[in-house]
Amino acid sequence: MGYDKGRVTIYEVAKVSGVSLATVSRVINDSDTVKEDTKRKVLAVIRKLGYKPSGLAQALATNKTTNIGLIVPSANYVYISNLLNGVSEVCKAKGFTLSLFTTSHSREDATACIEKAIKEHVDGVIVFDDELNDEDYKIFNTYDVPVLVINNNVSDSKIACIPFGYEHLIKRIILDYFSKGDKQMTFLHVHNGGRLLRRVENAFIRTHEENDKLFDIMNCDDSYQRTYRDFMERFKKKKKEYVIAYRDSIAAAVLNAATDSGLTVPGDVEVLSIIGTKYSSILRPQISSMNVNFYEVGKRAVDMLVDLINGDLNDKTYKFESKYIKRESTRF
């Protein structure tokens, strides 16, 4: 019957047994309200399918919490922390416990984390996806565990998603600068920066090439200290440019190197942060940024996943568009 692949769910036990989810749950919890012949039939199906009870089975009978897994590339970034705050707030309000898994920026590590979460019997998984592809999700879909994907546009019977809109915005910012600005643009390429950074970088390159404009791609470590040192050296020769940085801390390194080199911001050097956070407005000068409210993303992700678990999610895609917030680090 194909139940040997991945995790067998309470839904499959109920279907094969010909009883309700609540009845299966009562059998698992050894309730004396279930008739003996029904209990024997359900237990026989459980043994046959190799079903292992999860939190969902207990929750159906006791109204206690179920468990959601959250997989993120790192909990150290401010925007990921904002996402985590949104997720945890809604989980708490809805009576779910939360299991956190962190990955490095690699496809293999991400797939291993998802498989680990599924084997630990979470009832749904939220994945901030920087590396996975459609083939990976086809495999995960066979486990019959609902998955909510953030930062990718992929959906299936048990998969919903929250993609981000950055490409159109970066193109609009660049084209506007072409008509008003006077500096060559430089994009900071971070090794293992992930899917979002690659998409924005590709849009940056396409927009320049389509308009016959010169540009520069500069390799950059995801480190404030090293980026600061690199730009202190760079500003000894290059006195004017518009720099697009991955995060606020990288943008701050460029700004500080510029001012410490005697250059003005935004007169000589302009800087844009792709993923803006609260630090965009705290730093001086304030950093112009592209913003998505990751706290709201986290809240929306839990709402969608719970509906997906319950079979109540009609629209499996909800897109968050980024917004440009002009501050003191850019002229336009």
pLDDT digits (tens, 9 = 90+) for 145-183: 899 999 999 888 889 999 999 999 999 999 999 999 999
For residue 36, give both structure tokens. 């003996």
Q: What is the pLDDT of residue 58?
A: 57
DSSP-derived 3-state class of residue 106: coil
Residues 192 and 130: their CA atoms lie apart, in Å, by 9
What value does the mean pLDDT take over residues 253-275? 98
Identity of the highest mean pLDDT range in 62-76, 103-117, 308-322: 308-322
Residues 264 and 126: their CA atoms lie apart, in Å, by 43
pLDDT digits (tens, 9 = 90+) for 96-118: 889 999 887 677 877 888 888 87
Q: Are 241 and 182 contacting, i.e. CB atoms less than 8 angstroms apart?
A: no
Q: What is the pLDDT of residue 25?
A: 76
Q: What is the pLDDT of residue 5?
A: 45
Q: What is the pLDDT of residue 1?
A: 44
Q: Which range (20-29, 194-203, 284-293) has the least confidence?
A: 20-29
Confidence of residue 297 (pLDDT cuts 50, 70, 90): very high
Q: What is the pLDDT of residue 279?
A: 92
CA dihedral of residues 167, 180, 251, 277 (deg, nearest 10): -60
pTM: 0.79
Question: Which strands sit side by side in the sheet containing 288-291, from one edge to the other?
Answer: 215-220, 185-190, 241-247, 269-275, 288-291, 323-325
Question: What average pLDDT does the structure give for the chain?
Answer: 89
User: Alpha helices of 162-247 — where are they, by DSSP H?
Assistant: 167-180, 195-210, 224-234
pLDDT at 2 > cutoff 50:
no
Residues 52 and 35: their CA atoms lie apart, in Å, by 22
What value does the mean pLDDT take over residues 83-93? 95
Q: What is the pLDDT of residue 247?
A: 93
Strand partners, 317: 161
pLDDT digits (tens, 9 = 90+) for 190-202: 988 888 999 999 9
Residues 291 and 323: their CA atoms lie apart, in Å, by 5
What value does the mean pLDDT take over residues 275-294? 95
Q: What is the pLDDT of residue 145?
A: 85
pLDDT digits (tens, 9 = 90+) for 52-61: 766 555 555 5
Q: What is the pLDDT of residue 245?
A: 98
Q: What is the pLDDT of residue 55?
A: 58
Confidence of residue 41 (pLDDT cuts 50, 70, 90): very high
Helix axis angle, 36-49 relative to 10-17, nearest 10°? 130
Strand partners, 220: 190
First to last CA, the chain: 62
Q: Which range (67-71, 209-213, 323-327) has the least confidence?
A: 67-71
Confidence of residue 230 (pLDDT cuts 50, 70, 90): very high
Q: What is the pLDDT of residue 59?
A: 57
Q: What is the pLDDT of residue 42?
A: 92
Q: How crowded is residue 35: how many other Cβ atoms within 10 Å of its Cβ?
A: 9
Q: What is the pLDDT of residue 240?
A: 97
pLDDT at 211 > cutoff 80:
yes
Q: What is the pLDDT of residue 4?
A: 46
Q: Which long-range CB contacts under 8 A does 252-256 form with residues at least 24 apart?
A: 252/224, 252/279, 252/283, 252/287, 253/224, 253/225, 253/227, 253/228, 254/188, 254/227, 255/283, 255/285, 255/287, 255/329, 256/228
